[in-house]
Structure 1
C-alpha cells in the first residue's frame, strides 16, 4: 500500500518474468523448482532498498528482535541458503 512496497513487488514480478522469458523448462516440476529456488534466494540474499539494503528475511529477523509480540511464530533461517545467524 506504499510506493516502496509497490515498487518491491513490481521489481520482484519483473525478475520472475525475466526468469520465465530466459529459461526453457522441461516440465512443470522443473518450473516449480526454479521458482521455489528463486524465491528463496530473493528472500534470503537480495538486499532491498526499501528495507534499508538488507534482504527481506533479515528485515523480518530485525523486526522480530524489536517486537516479538507481533509475531505468531519465530523467524528462522531456511536450510541450505542461509548465511545469517539468528
Structure 2
C-alpha cells in the first residue's frame, strides 16, 4: 500500500471525513501534518499544492487534492488502485 500524507488542522470535518474514507479502504497509517500548529508547514503546503484549504492529501507522490477530490476519485473507481500503486 502506498504511503498517505495529509495536511490537516485540529478542527476540520473534511479532514476527518477523508481519514474515515481512507481507513475504510485499508489505510492503516496516515502521516498527518498539522498546519495550524506549524506556520512553516502551511507555507510548504501552499507552495507544493497551490491550495490553502485542508485537507491536502498525497498518496505516494500523487497529490490527490482535498476531501471532495478524494471522494470523486473513489466514486470513479480510482482510489483503490492508486492506494495499491497500480
TM-score for the superposition, normalised by structure 2: 0.26
Greater relative contact order: 1 or 2 (C-alpha under 8 angstroms, separation 6 or more)? Answer: 2
Normalized per residue, the structure richer in helix is 1
Normalized per residue, the structure richer in strand is 2
Q: Which has the larger radius of gyration?
A: 1
